[in-house]
Structures are given as structure tokens and as C-alpha cells.
Amino acid sequence: MSFSTIVKEEIAKQDWSKSETLALLSSFLRNNAIITQEKIEVITENPEVAQYIYKTMKELYRITIPIDQKKNNNFTKNRLYVLTIIEKQKMILEDLGVINQNGYYLLEPPEYLVTTTEDQRAYLAGIFLACGSINDPKTSRYHLEFTIDTEEEAQFVHFLLNNFDLNSKVLSREKGYMVYIKEAEKIGDYLRMIHATNALLYFEDIRILRDHRNMTNRLNNMEQANTDKIVETATKQLEDIEYIKDKMGLDFLDEKTREVATYRLKYQEASLQELSEIISLETNHPITKSGLNHRFRKMRELVNKWKGAENHDQEGTGKM
């Protein structure tokens, strides 16, 4: 079972008030109904959603709604549930803000259907039943989207979502529009807003686990980067010391610098902090990382000076 299915079934099982139910049904029919002069046809893959729409429409409007099943042509094993409304169509469509009294389609639902915060929540729950999907948080990316036919409806849903500070975006597609949310925290807020509590708990548990794992990986990578940096720095210092040792001998260095070079040769894998602590402890002469850096810098400058002189001599010999 997909995570989208879990969310839809939780929405369908909730107890909605009368005004919330009207808002929910409005968004559902506006975004998932085939309307002709003879009938209103609603199609869904989810049996829980089909049962909810059937029961609710029957109770509200006292009508008989045939339910048929047919094979899905999208190469999935799921069957499609088709609900056909052939009674009181015009009254139902007017009542749910799909058409006006003259029978013209309304680009946006009437204001009275989404006046309160609760009704707006219900409208946004209904549109998820109609055309929403959400990635399982176990996947590589967080993503919640609504696939909507008209620009006006897409902008209206976008407006409602951002009324709840969910930072949604609208993207024009070849066929229709996509309203989407990509931030994990905002997707969690959406699930909380539509009262999909069980789905929210699952989502947040997985999100916390992923965040913890990512933090651990970042810390491990940081630690590895620090280790690599320590090894690289120590290697360069050892190369300078060996160069000085081969060319002039360590006795060429002043006493304090020679002491640091000797300890570096002895503790080749130690970090500067560790080396400063070792020298301070064993010699009883405290030295800081800054002090060590100063002495290693002196050795580096000395090596650069000698190498520069060697290159100059070689160039001079070549000219002769």
C-alpha cells in the first residue's frame, strides 16, 4: 500500500462536520468528476474513497448511486471504482459550488464554502482525495503534489495552502498544472492540518530517523575530512624536516625549532593539538598550536629558500 493511499484512507475515515463535508466534496468533484448533461461520473482507485463518496452523497442528497468496477488501463493491478450520479445533478453541482444557477462552471468555488479555517482544511483534504499524491518519507526525496486541470483552480489551491504557510509552488505542465510542496517540515504541517494523524506520526518518525542518519553521516564525513587534513599537514611537515635533515642536518635549526622537528618525527600521525600537548607534557615547556605553527612555518620558509637557491644554481649552470 502506498503512502498516498494511507493518507487518503485516513481522510475518508474522519468525521467531518456538515460545512466541512460540503467543502471537501466541492474540491473532490471540481477536480475528479466527469460532468455531462446526463450524469456526474466519479472515478477512483481507492475503495475507501469510493465508499466515503458513495455514503456521504447518498446521505446528503437522498439519491441512489450505482458503483461499478472496471479494469485500470494504467498497467496496475488496481481496479477502478466508478460512481455515477444521475439524480439531482444540477442541484448537487450548484450546492457544491461547481456551477452557478445558470449552469456555468465556476472557475473558483464560492466564498461561502471556504469561509472558515476548518472549511479550508476540508477543501484541501478533498483535493488530496481527488488528485493528490505524496512520496513515502523512506524514499530519497520529500514531495507532495496535486495535479490540477485549470490554472484558476491551481492558483486557488496554491493560495489556500499558503494561507497555512506551507510554501507551495505552482508549475505549468504540458497537460494542466502541478501544485507542490517539497519541504519535509511543510509536508508534515499539511498532514497535521488535514488531521491525518497516523500518517503524520509515521512521516515524522521516518523524517527524524533520516535527519539523524544524515547528521551522523555529515559528522563522519567531517571527521574524515579533519583526519585527511591532519595527515596531509603532517606529511608536508615531515617532508620539510627530511629535506632539512638531508641537506644541513637538524643541528642547523635553533634549539626550539629542532625540538619541534624531533617530536614531529617521533609522533608522525599526531595532530597539532596532540603534538602541542605531548611536547608540553614531556618537556615541561608549554607550547601552543600557534607556537608549533610558527616553528613549522620557519622550517617551510627555510626549505623554500634553499630550493629557490638550488633552482637558481641549476639555471645558471644550464646557461654556461
Interval 121-145: pLDDT, tens = 999 999 999 999 999 888 768 899 9
pTM of the full structure: 0.67
Predicted local distance difference test score (pLDDT) of residue 302? 86
CA–CA dist 210, 165 (Å, integer): 24
Return the SS3 of 86: coil
In this predicted model, what pLDDT tens digit does every residue of 145-176 receive, in sequence order? 999 999 999 999 999 999 999 999 999 988 89
Q: What is the maximum alpha-carbon separation in the chain?
A: 111
Predicted local distance difference test score (pLDDT) of residue 227? 75
CA–CA dist 305, 289 (Å, integer): 24
Predicted local distance difference test score (pLDDT) of residue 320? 37
Predicted local distance difference test score (pLDDT) of residue 119? 95
Predicted local distance difference test score (pLDDT) of residue 35? 87
- Cβ atoms of 296 and 263 within 8 Å: the answer is no
Predicted local distance difference test score (pLDDT) of residue 313? 61
Cell numbers for 140? 530519497
Whether the per-residue pLDDT at 68 is higher than 90: the answer is: no
CA–CA dist 257, 287 (Å, integer): 12
Q: What percent of the chain has pLDDT over 70?
A: 94
CA–CA dist 231, 46 (Å, integer): 59
Q: What percent of the chain has pLDDT over 90?
A: 37
Structural domain of 130: 3-195
In this predicted model, what pLDDT tens digit does every residue of 211-256 receive, in sequence order? 767 677 777 777 777 777 888 888 888 888 888 888 888 888 888 8
Nearest to 71 by CA among 59, 84, 80: 80
- Residue 24 sits in the same domain as residue 111: yes
Q: Which of 143, 173, 195 is the last residue of a domain?
A: 195
- Residue 189 sits in the same domain as residue 245: no
- Residue 59 sits in the same domain as residue 149: yes
CA–CA dist 271, 172 (Å, integer): 55
Predicted local distance difference test score (pLDDT) of residue 193? 93
Is residue 209 included in any domain, yes or no?
A: no
Q: Which of 144, 179, 195 is the last residue of a domain?
A: 195
Average pLDDT over residues 290-295: 88
Average pLDDT over residues 107-124: 93
- Residue 249 sits in the same domain as residue 128: no
Is residue 211 included in any domain, yes or no?
A: no
Predicted local distance difference test score (pLDDT) of residue 74? 60
Cell numbers for 314? 641549476
Average predicted confidence (pLDDT) for the chain: 87
Whether the per-residue pLDDT at 73 is higher than 70: the answer is: no
